[in-house]
Amino acid sequence: MSGPSDSMRAVLERLAHEDRDLADPTTLRPEAGRALSALTNLRWNAELPEVARAETTLIAGLPARRIVPGNDTGTDAILHIHGGGWAFCSAATHEGAARRLALACAAPVVTIDYRLAPEHPYPAGLEDCLAAWRALPGDRRWSVAGDSAGANLALAAMLRLGAEGAAMPAQGLLFYGVYGADFDTPSYLAQAEGPGLTRAKMQRYWDWYAPWDLRGEPTVAPLAAEDAALAALPPLYLNAAALDPLRSDSEALVARLRELGRADPFDLVEGVVHGFMQMGPALPEARQAFARAGEVFRERAG
């Protein structure tokens, strides 16, 4: 596996300089780590893409942001579930990402604040996501998207809806997700020390989110899902960052889907680290990844 791209290396050097005196948020008290993560994410929302409308609202009693792009086609919409290890981040930290997704897909994006671990471990966050899904208005064809732990929750929500025989999203967009709790995969070992996300950070996130005796549940670790449940999923688009401890999670999920005869598009983005799509203002690969996801989405939305 090659190292960081030139643009990724420049971002990593910037982060090393800007964050040189900061603690690892996962080693702090959860509320302190959460606040620090929110502050450091401000840099990715300094140059927000222009949209037709961006408003704060409530969905199923949850604070939410609704982003309507100027190129809205009027037919589809997306519920976006933010990442952050099930413990950090919010609709506010992912404002830039939500806007880029809305513009790329030519569809409104709703992103919610769900309950966070460790104060609210599994299944609280998932139940909030499902409540939001069920409360969405019926005037659009709705899809679901998520990054990192948000991709985990998006996939878990689809698996739960499938198990209940409920209506499924039209599509799923899953960005560098966490789908299993095996910390000895090839990518966990290769990228144990980062850059960026590390094996130790993911272990702490998991410890906050779900105890070991729950990690065999498909709605906790979707790689545990049965073949029939994966086969019944709506059309997916997946990507992964090459320099990411979670890369093998996506590769294992894609291998399962291929074995089932599915052809869901999957892009392995070389030279970038976990969370790279948050870095849109500074990273061309992030902007390209949104464009690619939007291309797939619009082709299916038709």
Torsion sign across C-alpha atoms 216, 210, 27, 276: positive
- Which residues are the active-site residues? 148, 244, 274
Per the listing, tokens 């689809």 go with 158
β-pair type (109-112, 266-273): unpaired
Quote the CA–CA distance of 285 and 59 in Å, as a whole number: 32
Phi-psi region of 76 (alpha: psi -120 to 50; beta: other; left: phi over 0): beta
Cβ atoms within 10 A of the Cβ of 216, count? 11
* End-to-end Cα separation, the chain, in angstroms: 36
Phi, psi of 50 (to 5 degrees): -75, 135
